[in-house]
Structure 1
Amino acid sequence: MVFLGCSDFVEVDPPKNTLISETVFKDPVTVESAFAHIYHSMREKGLVSGNAGLTTLMGIYSDELDYYGFDADFLQFYHHNIVADNTSITGWWSHAYNLIYSANNIIEGVAGSDVLRLEDRNKFHGQALFVRAYVHSLLVSLYGDIPYVTTTDYLVNNSVSRVPEAKVYENIIADLEESVDLLEGIEDISDERVLPDQWTVKALLARMYLYTEQWEAAEVISTQLLGAFALEPDLNEVFLKGSSETIWQLKPGENLRNTQEANQLIIQFIPGQTYALTDSLMESFEIGDQRSVHWTASISDTDNTVTLQFAHKYKALFNETESLEYSILFRLGEQHLIRAEARVYLGNLAEAQQDLNVIRNRAGLANTTANTVNDLLESILHERRVELFAEQGHRWFDLKRTGSATAVLGPVKSNWKATDILFPIPEIELESNPNLLPQNQGY
């Protein structure tokens, strides 16, 4: 068995230039430095984390967060009048494909190395396949048909065409299944869950099986994860860096110490707030739901004329003297809800209830009373809303994949259009590569 335990993996300073030299792939330490650059980039900018990540922007795009800021591009998200040259939309696309390029660079470099041990080649190849699949999974959910890029050849990449959404998911799943095989027996023993291993890959694989309605496969993979991890019983400890249910998380940089999420979402002063939880989200918590107690908080202005609720899953700000929390990308709570939904579609209603009840009971709620297919599916979607709120855009992705975005957002977003289900392909990308045409409808 090969173990991932190198403490320097996420602490190596990010390379100042793109790692393209063949010498990179003659030493495991330099390959680990290349991965450190990827994870540093994920947590500091782009759609995964950073100041314009999925948590905040998809929160205001859906019905999770109200926006009080003045950024013109963010206001387009909030008011559903996005245009094709929105800098966040363009930045997400560019940053995502830069990450994919980096992953492909590692795949090609490791394959061509005659120096690295087989165990290291498998580990690095499997991790790079995961990164490639993960980033593509976010892009396809946002933009629909997209290029699935598997090479660093600039002549090929400069003229790529968009692939149908179904084919993109097929490619994602193929990459993940190969990654699982390559990472077999490789586990992160750092106790920090900051290095993606086979369990991280399986967490994304279960999500992709859910999104593509492969119910049996989703149940199998989520069951494996539920057997390997333990749900954190204390709601106050779910988002601490040592939480037992964390599958994969991003470690903050040296100068941040804690998460972008806490720094953005915690309201310290009114006026001065940027985001607040919507009334509709707060009203969706059942009476007695301890998540509304432990995962949200409120603040009033000095005159007590305005009171706002904010997400308080992450509680440590940047100015803490040590890192108490890391940004969690995959955790076990989601897997219970994936398996519950898969089991409903497989006709195993009693077992679906059991999974739903595990999450409800931890929140201090009684067992679900839903006992029909439709009622259970509705209850699971509701449970996903209150369990996964303000986490990586889950709410938006659920509304999109279940076909309920128009019904839910139409009444609360005055500019909502059915075509808002997809974002525009960035205008600058269409101009530089006509093979990406046609533009998504509505833009």
Structure 2
Amino acid sequence: MTNMKILLYICFPLILLSGCSQFVEIDPPFNAVTDATAYRTDATATSVVTGLYQIIINSPFTADGAGLGLFTSLQTDELKYHLTTAATLEFATNALTAENTNVLGIWTRAYQVIYGANAVIEGVSRSTTLTPSVKDQLLGEAKFVRAFMYFYLVNLYGSVPLALTTDYKVNISLKRSPSAEVYQQIITDLSDAETLLTEAYMSATNVVTNDRVRPNRTAASALLARVYLYTGDYVNAESKASAVIAQSSVYKMDPDLDKVFLVGSQEAIWQLGQDANVSGINTYEGYNYILISDPTTNYPGITLSEDLATQLQGTKRGMHWVQNFTVGTTAYPYAFKYKVRQAASRSAITEHLVVLRLAEQYLIRAEARALQNNFDQAAQDLNAVRSRYNLADIFPENLPDFMIALEQERKLELFTEWGHRWFDINRWRGFSNPSISRADEVMPDIAAAKGGAWRSAYRLWPIPMNELLVNVNLDPNPGYGL
């Protein structure tokens, strides 16, 4: 990673973890992650791991304006920003700078979680007192979490430092690893997680539960399917997605769209749940997307874009996943996938943040099959998603037509979720001009409409200036010089 600045970052999770309510305090609490005593019992070791999820959900990944899902949606044609807060406006106008506090916040917290995962892998591996099944579960979860963090780092920033140890003497000398190397580590970690985890979901006390807030084997397979798709391994992408889809007794696309994002959703493969949140916030998506006042004058000032709202209007998705807040004669559309802005109490929480869900797996398999020229089966997967919305079957017979249809389905199905739209247009080649990216085809008009100007370099976020200043081994991304 870096030098003294990053040492502060990687030590900070020790303090964070000791504050989680599920964490059993060990004296001294700030040594919890790396202290060998944390890994002597199943309960204490599990508390360290479950604490990692609370760092994720209460960090810039999902909080602070709903986190990376919101920031990446603002960069695309999904969301519109009505206020003037500089750090957010940079996303909305595609004018990011290396000094952006949100860019730094997501980078920093990702490495904090990675440090925690590395500590768990080291501590659990050395432990001789953990129950073997619990040891496997915790190792699998830690590797899953590390892969999950690196997936977002490599897609947001490109090549990044690949820290796989808690040894600061190693971490302080790390340079940026090529994206292909980072992806290979992600695949290795997720493959290990598949082997170590079970199909059952485990509770914080290591008993089988219906709650899906700790990843299981299927969660590892689902994320692997996405990773293989992104890296161009379409055979394995299809295989992993098929393995998830085949579990039809566990995972189903609910015809009731109001249930997709609830606690216990049968479509959810992995969710993040708030822990003892006395404010009653179910998810930061609900808290920040649901409008309760004029977005042109009040925080958070975010609405759906007019274009996306128009495409959803009158559709089943639009009727369930979009609402309007009216000010005078003006109706402002907003994302309504999550129905609760703020509950009365922790006990009233009914929604968990969905990270992985079944509909995406059908769309992954559809794309993977089409890119293997299997258009018949690819169309079946597209139509499996469309059938939930009573849409007519479609049968694209060539790759250009299929990609246009796929783009539309992914845009309308996954809007505002975890950066899908932003990552899609950046990973796809241009539909009309394959020598450029899809982003370079569509973003010039999108950026101009929002008052910005598109440059191809903006497909990646800048490496945070704070990191560049303290680590001479880090190079800036093109377009974001010192």
Normalization by structure 1: what TM-score?
A: 0.93
Q: What aligned pairs does 1:136-215 form with structure 2 within 5 A after superposition?
A: 136-184=150-198, 186-188=200-202, 189-215=208-234
Equivalent pair of 1:12/1:33 in contact (CA under 8 Å): yes
Q: What aligned pairs does 1:67-86 form with structure 2 within 5 A after superposition?
A: 67-86=81-100
Q: CA offset at residue 13 of structure 1?
A: 4.8
Q: Which of 270, 293, 298 is 2:324 aligned to?
A: 298
Which secondary structure does the structure 1 equivalent of 2:323 belong to?
strand
Q: CA offset at residue 441 of structure 1?
A: 3.4
Q: Which of 43, 58, 63 is 1:44 aligned to?
A: 58
Query: How many aligned residue pairs are there?
Result: 431
Determine the C-alpha separation between the residues in 2 that align with 1:155 and 1:355. 49
Please say if 1:17 is aligned against 2:36: no
Superimposed CA distance per residue, residues 389-417 of structure 1 (whole angstroms, 9 cap, x where no aligned partner): 01111110111111211211111213211
Determine the C-alpha separation between the residues in 2 that align with 1:24 and 1:250. 23
Equivalent pair of 2:375/2:396 in contact (CA under 8 Å): no
Structure 1 residues 18, 136: closer, same or farther in 2, change over 3 A? farther
Please say if 1:338 is aligned against 2:364: yes
**Aligned equivalent of 2:15:** none
Superimposed CA distance per residue, residues 258-281 of structure 1 (whole angstroms, 9 cap, x where no aligned partner): 111011001112253511000121
Which blocks of at least 5 consecutive residues in structure 1 are unaligned? 1-9
**Aligned equivalent of 2:69:** 55
Q: Which amino acid aligns with 2:340?
A: A
Deviating more after overlay: 287-296 vs 242-251: 287-296
Equivalent pair of 1:14/1:36 in contact (CA under 8 Å): no
Q: What aligned pairs does 1:21-420 form with structure 2 within 5 A after superposition?
A: 21-51=35-65, 53-184=67-198, 186-188=200-202, 189-228=208-247, 229-253=251-275, 254-257=277-280, 258-270=282-294, 271-272=297-298, 274-285=301-312, 289-301=315-327, 303-304=328-329, 306-321=330-345, 322-402=348-428, 403-413=437-447, 414-420=452-458
Deviating more after overlay: 330-339 vs 423-432: 423-432
Q: CA offset at residue 70 of structure 1?
A: 3.1
Normalization by structure 2: what TM-score?
A: 0.86
Determine the C-alpha separation between the residues in 2 that align with 1:180 and 1:170. 15
Which blocks of at least 5 consecutive residues in structure 2 are unaligned? 1-19, 203-207, 429-436
Which secondary structure does the structure 2 equivalent of 1:84 belong to?
coil
**Aligned equivalent of 1:424:** 462
Determine the C-alpha separation between the residues in 1 that align with 2:66 and 2:259. 26
Q: Which amino acid aligns with 1:412?
A: I
Q: CA offset at residue 250 of structure 1?
A: 0.8
Determine the C-alpha separation between the residues in 2 that align with 1:407 and 1:284. 20
Determine the C-alpha separation between the residues in 1 that align with 2:271 and 2:170. 33
Q: Which amino acid aligns with 1:230?
A: K
Equivalent pair of 1:55/1:391 in contact (CA under 8 Å): yes
Q: CA offset at residue 37 of structure 1?
A: 1.7
Determine the C-alpha separation between the residues in 2 that align with 1:78 and 1:18. 40
Query: Aligned residues: percent identity?
Result: 35
Determine the C-alpha separation between the residues in 1 that align with 2:229 and 2:344. 38
Q: CA offset at residue 125 of structure 1?
A: 0.8
Determine the C-alpha separation between the residues in 1 that align with 2:291 and 2:75. 19
RMSD (Å) for aligned C-alpha atoms: 1.7
Determine the C-alpha separation between the residues in 2 that align with 1:107 and 1:367. 47
Which secondary structure does the structure 2 equivalent of 1:247 belong to?
strand
Q: CA offset at residue 11 of structure 1?
A: 5.7
Structure 1 stretches of at least 4 aligned residues deviating more than 6 Å after TM superposition = none
Q: CA offset at residue 181 of structure 1?
A: 1.0
Which secondary structure does the structure 1 equivalent of 2:332 belong to?
strand
**Aligned equivalent of 1:6:** none
Q: Which amino acid aligns with 1:339?
A: R
Structure 1 residues 378, 309: closer, same or farther in 2, change over 3 A? same
Q: Which amino acid aligns with 2:240?
A: I
Which secondary structure does the structure 1 equivalent of 2:303 belong to?
strand
Equivalent pair of 2:320/2:336 in contact (CA under 8 Å): yes
Determine the C-alpha separation between the residues in 2 that align with 1:318 and 1:185. 32
Which secondary structure does the structure 2 equivalent of 1:435 belong to?
coil
Equivalent pair of 2:259/2:265 in contact (CA under 8 Å): yes
